[in-house]
Copies of this chain bind each other. A is one copy, B any other.
């Protein structure tokens, strides 16, 4: 591959193949009240099985966009298509991982992980078995009966991740899942996440502030401009993900992409 980075402004009129894009948003505009204009005419496609990152300066509307996709917020205009159907509320095909974990403080790790299943009425035995398997998958064995306050930030976020995986949704929505985790554990977590996703085959939509993180984990990076959020550019870093994490981080494509995005974002900073 010669050109490592594709940049394009999205074109709302281009017909997209619904089977290729599990989630699409069309012409989304969002106002909070009458004067906070958060998003302006956002059109985006999220290819099935890929990881898309939303990146942009603080307050540009990343969380807003993600919550609209999750069905947690209403749009002012525009629509969200999941598997070709317009949706306006949360559904079983999407699961959310929260920035501040959103764990139930009064429930054990097992109950927290099984909570999504509990809400959909899965019987106790079954959901605990399922929870257990994901607890093992995210590396939480031994923590089953602990309460959230006994866990460190990184471990808590793993619980949040396991909960989202347990409901077996096709799309994972993650809002800065690592921002409350310390830097070193974060790096480890990124590697673990990539590994896990390569096995689980999920579509992931991921919000982050970290350019390196975005470039490191994403198939597609959506760069948003400051409020009202518009799409600034879409970048597809074509990294060779088969190489080791350390090699990726010194890959020329990786470094070029980081530098380019940094150049773009820098102008918006205070």
Contacts and interface: CB of A to CB of B under 8 A. Distances in A.
A255 B249 contact: yes
Given A154-B270, A270-B155, A187 B249 contact: no
Interface residues of A, number: 27
A125 interface: no
Nearest to A255: B250
Interface stretch (A63-71, A89-97, A178-186): A178-186
A259 B270 contact: no
Contacts of A255: 249-250
A261 to B, nearest CB: 10
Nearest to A183: B209
24 contacts: A58-B152, A58-B182, A58-B184, A58-B185, A152-B270, A155-B270, A183-B208, A183-B211, A184-B209, A184-B265, A184-B266, A184-B269, A185-B269, A185-B270, A187-B262, A188-B266, A188-B269, A212-B212, A246-B259, A246-B262, A249-B258, A249-B259, A250-B255, A250-B259
Interface of A: 57-58, 152, 154-155, 182-185, 187-188, 208-212, 246, 249-250, 255, 258-259, 262, 265-266, 269-270
